[in-house]
Chain A
Amino acid sequence: MESNWDGSASPFQKERKLAHVTLPRSLSEKVEGELELEVDARNVRALIRALDLRFPGIGEILSGQTAVAIDGEILSEAGIEPLSAQSEVHFLPRVGGG
């Protein structure tokens, strides 16, 4: 699979990896209300980078304060977790536990 060094999709990549992303409501203003979007990325880190390009500053919030659920599975450290086409990605508040 061809892709750019940072994990973002290369324009030559055959199979597009459009992940379906849902952002927390609390970020509404920061993303001009676009809480649901399709993003082209190979893994979570690349996804956050892509979002940060679009909405500067959001990357820090997403990587610092949230957990990620990919296809229903909540991951606490998701950085290089690969995304496949049609992945459903939710950014969620982090919950601890007792």
Chain B
Amino acid sequence: MSAATGEQKFRWVGTRPVRPDGHDKVTGRARYGADFSLPGMLCGRVLRSPHAHARILKIDTAEALALEGVHAVLTGDDLPDLTSSEESSSLSAASRNIMARDKVLYHGHAVAAVAASTPEVAREALALIRVEYEVLESVLGIEEALADGAPLLDEELRTKGEEDPKPSNVAAKVMFSNGDIEVGFALADEIVEREFTTQAVHQGYIEPHACLAQMGEDGKATLWVSSQGQFAIRSMTAGILGVELSHLRVIPAEIGGGVGGKTTVYLEPLAVALSRKSGRPVKMVMSREEVFRGSGPALGTRIKVKLGATREGRLVAAQALLHYEAGGFPGSSVQAGAMTIFSSYALEHLEITGYDVVVNKPKGAAYRAPGAPMAAFATESLMDELATRLEIDPVDFRLRNAAKEGVQSAFGPRFRRIGLVETLEAIQAHPHYRAPLKPNQGRGVAVGFWFNAGLQSSASVNVNEDGTVSVVSGSPDIGGSRASLAIMAAEELGIEYEAVDVTVADTASVGFNDVTGGSRVTFATGMAVIESAREVIQQLRERAASIWDVEVDQVVWQEGRACVPDSKEIESLDLKAIADQAGETGGPITGRHSLSARGVGMGFGAHICDVQVDPETGRVEVVRYTAVQDAGRAIHPSYVEGQMQGGVAQGIGWALNEEYIYNADGELQNPGFLDYRIPVASDLPMIDTVIVEVPNDGHPYGVRGVGEVPIVAPLPAVANAVCAATGVRFTDLPLSPPRVLKGIEDAETVS
């Protein structure tokens, strides 16, 4: 693998061609999760718990089953009990999350499912299922969960990572430390310390979860589903139902947004189980309300941070205590929160402690850079405060302390080449940073960090008889990644971009691929495509050599043609000419590559946000926004910008509006887009983007993960801007009008 250099010359990389799947997506022809149907198909529906915390005493399904048109009813008793096997504790939790067994752990927890001839019959059948509950006191927040004598969600749960733990609602403890925190703070001239909170938010993908399942009498099943990974859906569904992987074929639909929330199963095992019971295809689609109540949001956090710096603006100590809600089952993103909270800075003395806390809310799922935005909100707010106290420009202050190559990260390893300094310099140089502000406006800056997952990918590159090329990948395309893969194949092969098409194949048609997540597809699946294309080139050279009867070594592949540079007589052959003779020279020309990706490149972004605050109503409007990010190498810059703009918009929603609102009984009060308000077009300005390219030398073209970094900085960038506009340091999100107004009024009363 060649080391990436800044001077690589490209024909397609860095250009902005139309995506291969574009036409289908602007004409309505592309098929998403809910767009499949089969003859005889039944409608599957889920009965959900009306209580946040209760013991299930009895479920009587007899009446529902007797209803005309009902073909199957499913409860927890129909699914294998996976609790005994230690290894599959996460699978067991997933199984109990998609169908409660002895206890319901949140309002909306599935307790039964039916398959019926029509949606109306299904709805009627759900009403006929009688569930007897013993309602238990619920635990709705971190405070309540940690309180002495708090009701326990799971009497067996003990804190992993704690010495001699007693049963509690704390599932795990993580710690990172370096140096000596006491010594560090003793060196500080300025110390700031605050506690921050954020509320549960949803990924908010526009397409609800949907699938169609069909199981035959031979026990083999096919599942059409929109997800971030058909292989992950296969392994979880098969694991939960006890089906062999080879008996379950998962066909990926187009996916209408995932943002982390479609990396796990909700409906899929139920649909397959209902199909098994009824002998008919079963389609299941969540309503929007079910998406909010029953899928996996990013839950609330409470984060306390203390930072110390010298008069000269050197950070000397940092301490954090993080509590993250996990929902009904263990597994919040606190680990990643702890790993990212101080990772933008070089720090000698630090101590980070994080706790994973179960509460009676839906089991959390990944949400774009899971755990990092909340952590950045805390640290970057305090960085801002320190800069103000030290009277140093906030970008300068960050530059003085920025992580760079060789610096030991807060989570342990030393950084390889990273581009934080470059992104900070870029925002400092940006005209936005010096643009004048109007009254009631304020400007904030913040940086964000996220990893880049490698994981496993497989791809193949097939040369067709006419010289066109079909790339097959197993990574669902959520934001234009087919275009990036096509660009990389065309680049390697030296052919026209238009000659390449990309298919996202089902689990029986391509080797294993991990989920589209962790910003990994263009990076890792892209690497599999590049290697496959290189294998194709090797074969093309061999074929040309055999056509010409020369040694393979004499043949080179350049600009899409095989040629023998030393020979005047031999006329070069293009891909089409070689493909044409493939049959006679050894058969079809195909390259294939599978890998556990190496060489991940970590990503940083730096953002500038201007807000306008209405002092009468407390309403905050983002009036200008600039995001800078190190992409390593932007394969298709439009889709890199798109990731940045989309992440920023989500972050702004998180900062200003979005939150799950519960009543005292733990019922979600706003399970719809009317009351859970995500940003609309009229809420936002254009989002300016600057792509910085500090190549990742672990990737042939220098690619880094791009998709997640952009959501990390907006929370603090917005909050810092609001602080600049109002003089009030807000520590609790979202910055909704009542909260901002109260903050302003409280500050006025004090002064």
Contact = CB atoms under 8 A, between A and B. Distances in A.
A72 B172 CA distance: 25
A94 B172 CA distance: 14
Contacts of A94: 335
A98 B416 contact: no
A92 B175 CA distance: 10
B149 interface: no
Given A26-B161, A29-B163, A74 B413 contact: yes
Interface stretch (B285-293, B513-521, B616-624): B513-521
B370 A98 contact: yes
Interface in A1-41: 22, 24-26, 29
Contacts of A97: 260, 366, 369-370, 450-451, 453, 517-520, 708
A74 B411 CA distance: 11
Name the residue in A29, A97, A98 with the highest tally of chain B Cβ atoms < 10 Å from its Cβ: A98
- Chain B at the A interface: SS class: loop
Given A97-B519, A98-B517, A98-B518, A64 B163 contact: no
B518 to A, nearest CB: 2
A94 B454 CA distance: 12
Given A93-B339, A97-B708, A26 B517 contact: no
Contacts of B698: 73
A55 to B, nearest CB: 16
A26 B370 contact: no
A49 interface: no
Contacts of B172: 26
A5 to B, nearest CB: 23
Interface residues of B, number: 49
A84 B668 CA distance: 54
Nearest to B599: A73
A76 B707 CA distance: 19
Contacts, number: 104
A50 interface: no
A65 to B, nearest CB: 9
Given A25-B175, A98-B517, A92 B412 contact: yes
B368 A92 contact: no
A88 B598 contact: no
Contacts of A73: 413, 416, 598-600, 698
A95 B339 contact: yes
Interface in A73-98: 73-77, 88, 90, 92-98
A24 to B, nearest CB: 7
B456 interface: yes
B366 A96 contact: yes
Given A69-B413, A92-B339, A97-B517, A76 B453 contact: yes
A93 B336 CA distance: 8
A96 B412 contact: no
Name the residue in A72, A75, A92 with the highest tally of chain B Cβ atoms < 10 Å from its Cβ: A72
B259 interface: yes
A76 B596 contact: yes
Given A22-B412, A75-B598, A98-B367, A93 B451 contact: no
Interface of A: 22, 24-26, 29, 64, 69, 71-77, 88, 90, 92-98
9 contacts: A26-B173, A76-B454, A77-B596, A93-B339, A95-B339, A96-B453, A97-B260, A98-B370, A98-B708
Instruction: State the 7 A-B residue pairs at the shortest beta-carbon distance, nearest first.
Output: A97-B518, A98-B260, A26-B161, A25-B175, A98-B368, A69-B413, A90-B412
Given A71-B413, A93-B174, A96-B518, 19 more contacts: A22-B412, A24-B176, A25-B176, A26-B175, A69-B412, A72-B414, A73-B599, A76-B453, A76-B454, A76-B455, A77-B596, A88-B414, A95-B370, A95-B451, A97-B369, A97-B370, A98-B260, A98-B261, A98-B366
